[in-house]
Amino acid sequence: MEYMMIRKNNLSLGIALAFAFSASNAVHAVTVSNADFRNVEIRHSGMCIDLTGGNTANFSGFSQWTCGQSNSNQRLEFVERGEGFYSIKTKTSQKCLEVANSDSANGARIQQLTCADASVNQQWSLQDMNNGWFKLKNRATGKCLDVAGAYTEKGSEFHQWACLADHPNQEFRFIFDENVANDPSGTITVQAADFVSQGGSFDDNQQSPVSIYSVAGQSAINYINSGDFVDYNVDIDRAGKYLVTFNVGTAITSNVMIELLVLENGSWVSYAQASVPAYGWDNFTELSAANEVSLAAGTQKLRIHALGSNDWQWNLASFKLEWQGEPTDPVDPPLLDSDGDGVLDVNDLCPNTPANQPVNQDGCAQSQLDDDNDGVSNDVDQCPNTPPGVTVDNTGCEPNSPGVIDVNTADANLPSFVSFNNTTPLGKRWEKVESLSDEFEFWNGAKWIKTNWNYGNTPVNMLNKNSGVSDGNLWIQATLNADSPNQWFETSRVRSVAKIKFPMYTESRIKVANISAYSTFWLNNGDINNRDEIDIIEINPVPTCNCQPDFPWKMNSQYFIAKNGSTERNHGNSDNRTDLSDENTLQGVLWTDDYHVFGAWWKDEHTVQFYLNGEPVNKVTTQQPFTLEQFVIWDLWSQDSSWVGGLPQKTDLLNDNNNTMKVDWIRTWKLVDE
């Protein structure tokens, strides 16, 4: 878990509400305090707006990252431009955040450029969303700053999108607001909706254990069941004993309890509990716990937990910590785990571990170790015992010099990599899985079905007529329905009848459609709450958004594991220009210029190694285990968003030379004992 200092008790002091009235209704705006700089936190992720990589060049983009008061890439100056608009200048570059080219389309890129007083695409108004939260609305386009895809991972990019209600990936607030005095009363009020993480195992058919809703002009949390919890990062300015008061409501008459826990030395310790009387779900009542909690000064990690045994528990609007006096005994400062890998900073030899990577007792992930000192990290090293002084390629193995790697010459009876660098484990062999292999001479209904399913918020309409087999290829074609304003992108999906589980390898020879859409090859089983998914490719070769310049060479590989409503996700992306050896005949060849062979070796419950044109590229290692057998799927779809790359022009769907994804073959093997 990332730790950040949030001045919960000062947030309301960093903004002042100003009301401008029109003839028909009141429009709420937000003005900025007199602080020189502040961080801007995103509501859905708890991270901050960040100048990506600290790049000071014009046209550099913005992403979300763990909040840091000393991180100048996140320190923003709001420069007043009149009529309630501000330019947003970064401390690192002294340049301004803008909508690229004043593009009014959804998904338009957010970038920095030299500040110009007259550039209205650099001007933003702050639209009040209550309780210190606001939207940032662009003056030129009338659209809002938005975290693409509502992703919560570090590094997720910003774009603009239509301003929408109940979209916390469009809502912001000021933190680390310099020049604002501390609350002299010693009372810290934490809004319940400001949690940084949540959890719970009770299945109430909600997408997440805890939900945020609005009641009587304030935000609160509900759908709290027995065992559910929410975590908060709270800045304690003054060490001491604190009285805990919950602003809570319930309609359940028995077995309803709430408690506060503190993270101490890596373990959660309970300090304050209270039984909640049944005054009504939204009739919030201040309820003080019997016990006080001693807290050290600094950032503290606090948890609110549903302790009662009844299935349904309580709703919570806020809780308060009121200073009561000096601690009876000295309180040790909190022990931090800044990179959230489970190893405290004082013991962590690798302090910047990427999210969701398992670590050893020293806090080091395989991506941070190189046991044989060959310059290739353990997570991608296919030859982990290279002798000193030996030259290796990007897989950590001696190159097959002067051999040429031409995947089209590989032995079709084995995984293609066996022909060039056979890393099959000793004592094992590859056994063909015929139910998941096909040269596509004809449509085989015993192997494949059309499971058409439409993605939300897209013009996609999947139909049986848009896929088939001919001329030695499985094909999926995107065609135009000019009569439908909402579902004009007609396409299809093909899925295997059989399922498979590790250890296995599958690869498919594909030529992607030459339109702004994802041509995909992936494994999947389950639903939003219980799902395993391995995306081998999601390729958009010609994005229209002017925001994904590397897409013509990127595989966009990734995985998802969803268990009990909690989703784990990580990328294992690969680039055709840089991740293939110089001997590979398809190095740097555009996806649309030729067929390419994409593969995945699903090694075990935690590991997937991706392959491209006969060579291993990137690998992903999961925290949670894969537990489900998975289907093989191909489909072709698009969406008006920057993370997909933008929609194609409708006229692109009229060109049969470009609008068709072609699959020459698929071959699948199980790894078995010799």
CATH code of the domain containing 619:
2.60.120.200
In a domain, 49, yes or no: yes
Whether 669 and 632 share a structural domain: yes
What is the model's pTM?
Answer: 0.46
In a domain, 342, yes or no: no
Whether 587 and 536 share a structural domain: yes
Predicted pLDDT at 313: 92
Residue 215 corresponds to which tokens in the numbers above? 């009641």
Q: What is the CATH number of the domain that holds 304?
A: 2.60.120.260
For the annotated catalytic residues, the residue numbers are 533, 538
Look at residues 643, 602, 620 and name the one whose alpha carbon lies nearest to residue 356: 620
Whether 616 and 648 share a structural domain: yes
HSE of 323, CA atoms in CB hemisphere, 13 A: 17
Whether 210 and 162 share a structural domain: no
Q: Report residue 168 CA to chain centroid gap.
A: 14
Query: What is residue 653's DSSP assignment?
Result: G
3 state DSSP class of 345: helix
Whether 170 and 193 share a structural domain: no
In a domain, 331, yes or no: no
Domain with 352, as residue range(s), is 348-394
3 state DSSP class of 153: coil
Look at residues 244, 276, 241, 277 and name the one whose alpha carbon lies nearest to residue 260: 244
- How far apart (Å, rounded) are the C-alpha atoms in residues 172 and 196? 14
- How far apart (Å, rounded) are the C-alpha atoms in residues 399 and 403? 8
Predicted pLDDT at 15: 35
Whether 209 and 277 share a structural domain: yes
In a domain, 471, yes or no: no
User: In the listed set 394, 428, 448, which residue is the last one of a domain according to the structure?
Assistant: 394
Whether 236 and 141 share a structural domain: no
Which residue is listed with tokens 């994804």? 661
Q: Check: CB of residue 504 under 8 Å from CB of residue 526.
A: no
Whether 282 and 157 share a structural domain: no
Domain count, the chain: 4
Predicted pLDDT at 384: 80
Q: Check: CB of residue 401 under 8 Å from CB of residue 392.
A: no
In a domain, 237, yes or no: yes
Look at residues 325, 310, 202, 190 and name the one whose alpha carbon lies nearest to residue 247: 190
Region of 634 (left: φ > 0; alpha: ψ -120 to 50; beta: rest) is beta
By CB atoms closer than 10 A (0-12, 13-18, 19+), residue 12 is middle
Predicted pLDDT at 383: 79
- How far apart (Å, rounded) are the C-alpha atoms in residues 653 and 490? 9
User: In the listed set 150, 175, 200, which residue is the last one of a domain according to the structure?
Assistant: 175
Look at residues 489, 495, 494 and name the one whose alpha carbon lies nearest to residue 457: 489
Predicted pLDDT at 327: 72
3 state DSSP class of 349: coil
In a domain, 643, yes or no: yes
- How far apart (Å, rounded) are the C-alpha atoms in residues 136 and 171? 8
In a domain, 528, yes or no: yes
Whether 167 and 191 share a structural domain: no
Q: What is the CATH number of the domain that holds 49?
A: 2.80.10.50
User: In the listed set 155, 175, 195, which residue is the last one of a domain according to the structure?
Assistant: 175
Q: Check: CB of residue 469 under 8 Å from CB of residue 442.
A: yes
Whether 146 and 252 share a structural domain: no
Splitting the chain (674 residues) into consecutive groups of 10 residues, what average pLDDT does each group show?
A: 29 32 38 79 90 86 84 88 92 92 92 93 91 91 92 87 89 73 63 87 72 80 91 85 93 92 86 90 89 85 92 92 77 62 79 82 88 86 82 72 77 95 95 97 93 85 94 96 94 96 98 97 90 95 91 93 85 86 91 96 96 95 94 96 92 93 98 95
In a domain, 601, yes or no: yes
The end-to-end CA distance of the chain, in Å, is 44
Return phi, psi of residue 551, to 5°: -55, -35
Whether 209 and 102 share a structural domain: no
Q: Report residue 330 CA to chain centroid gap.
A: 40
Whether 316 and 203 share a structural domain: yes
**Strand 229-236 relative to strand 240-250, pairing:** unpaired
Look at residues 616, 46, 588 and name the one whose alpha carbon lies nearest to residue 376: 616
